[in-house]
Every structure is written in C-alpha cells, then in structure tokens.
A and B are shown apart, each in its own frame.
Chain A
Amino acid sequence: QLQLQESGPGLVKPSETLSLTCTVSGGSISSSSYYWGWIRQPPGKGLEWIGSIYYSGSTYYNPSLKSRVTISVDTSKNQFSLKLSSVTAADTAVYYCARHPMQWLVPGYFDLWGRGTLVTVSS
C-alpha cells in the first residue's frame, strides 16, 4: 500500500526558508501515471494548493506563491521536497504532500494524502 510521509522542522523563524520532504513508500515516485503535490491548510482555514512535480522534474506552481516556492524530486530516494522562502506568520499551516493521478498528461485530483505536518513560523 503506497504511503506518503512528510518530514521537516516544525518551527521556522520569520524571513527564513521552510523546507519539507515527502517520502513515498510502497511504490515508486517514478511512475509515469502520477504527479506529486504539496497542499497547505492554515489553522482553522481551507486548503491551498502550493505546487506539484513529475518524476522528470516538470513542475506546476501556484502563481500566488511561485516567487517563493521551489519543489524538487529525488527519484533515488523516492522523495520530493518543498522549499518556501521568506516565510511569515501567514505561512503557518499544516503542510500535506499528496499524489495526483495524471489527467490527459496534466495533474488531476489528489487521491492519496500524507498525514500532514504542522509548521509554525515564529521567532
């Protein structure tokens, strides 16, 4: 059974870079059928898509975050990663990684999610 697990610091200082990794187990991140994405949810608020990546390195980013986001993939470790720079308190959220089945060669809905990890931005 394929599983996703987020990891990384739970506390980041303002103006620094948030870094998270999602480890895929029970299956290969190099599957041609899926993109892999990041979604976040501030406490008590809704879901916001951050960005997604294919095993080849092809990416899609949310325009609202694009200037601060980098998503990368390491197929040898079966992992993909998120970096969000210049964070503020507004970036405090639960960060989820998730799998997107491809729909006509582009990412689709999210069918499998990690458990999520809370990242707090505070000095």
Chain B
Amino acid sequence: DIQMTQSPSSLSASVGDRVTITCRASQGISNYLAWYQQKPGKVPKLLIYAASTLQSGVPSRFSGSGSGTDFTLTISSLQPEDVATYYCQKYNSAPFTFGPGTKVDIK
C-alpha cells in the first residue's frame, strides 16, 4: 500500500505569515490528493481536491500544488481562525489513506 507522510508534524507561525505544509506519497498518485482542515473539537473540512482545486467556500488564501509524489498546501497569510490540524489524503485507489497530520498554531 502507498504510505502518506507529512512535514512538519507541527508548526507555529505569526499572523500574516506564509505557511507551507508538505505531503509525500510513497508512490505516484497523479493528482488524486485532497487536503482537509480539522479545527479543535470539530469535524474535518475539505479544503482542496485534485491537488489544487479549491473547494467551494474555502478562502483563497489556501492553495495546493503538486503531482506524482510531492504535494504542498500553502496558506498565503495565516489567520487566527486557521489554527487547526491539516491532513492530506490520497484517493487514486483504495486504501484511501490519510497523512498523519500537521498541527498549525499561532506564535
């Protein structure tokens, strides 16, 4: 099975900073990659699918890129409401594995 890794596992940044999270697949998955945001105590929310397509209603400060094995989620200007854990997920084929998550908080 394809394994998903994320880096860093956690980060602390200032409001307004540009934040980048990396997700890596152990084998190529084309662009079958989604990103989710899970705020503390809340349900995961889809941010991006097909590696770079923003889900409806998601602020434009979020963007995704990548293809094959290496993907990034970027928050162009970190806001206090972005404090959350971010997960990537592959869906090229089963199993639909999630990455271990990256916890983002405000410095």
A residues apposed to B, CB below 8 Å: 37, 46-49, 52, 60-64, 96, 100, 103, 106-111, 113-116
Contact = CB atoms under 8 A, between A and B. Distances in A.
A114 B43 CA distance: 8
Contacts of B93: 106
A103 B91 contact: yes
Contact of B87 (A47, A107, A111): A47
Contact of A107 (B38, B43, B91): B91
Interface in B28-61: 32, 34, 36, 38, 43-46, 49, 55
Q: Interface of chain B, helix or strand or loop or mixed?
A: loop
What 9 A-B pairs come out closest when comparing CB atoms? A109-B34, A47-B98, A60-B94, A49-B96, A109-B49, A108-B91, A113-B43, A62-B95, A46-B101
Contacts of A107: 91, 94, 96
B1 interface: yes
B34 A46 contact: no
A111 B36 CA distance: 10
Given A60-B95, A110-B36, 12 more contacts: A46-B98, A49-B96, A61-B94, A63-B1, A96-B44, A106-B93, A107-B96, A108-B49, A109-B34, A110-B46, A115-B43, A116-B43
B89 interface: yes
B68 interface: no
A61 B100 CA distance: 19
A111 B94 contact: no
B97 interface: yes
Nearest to A63: B95
A6 to B, nearest CB: 11
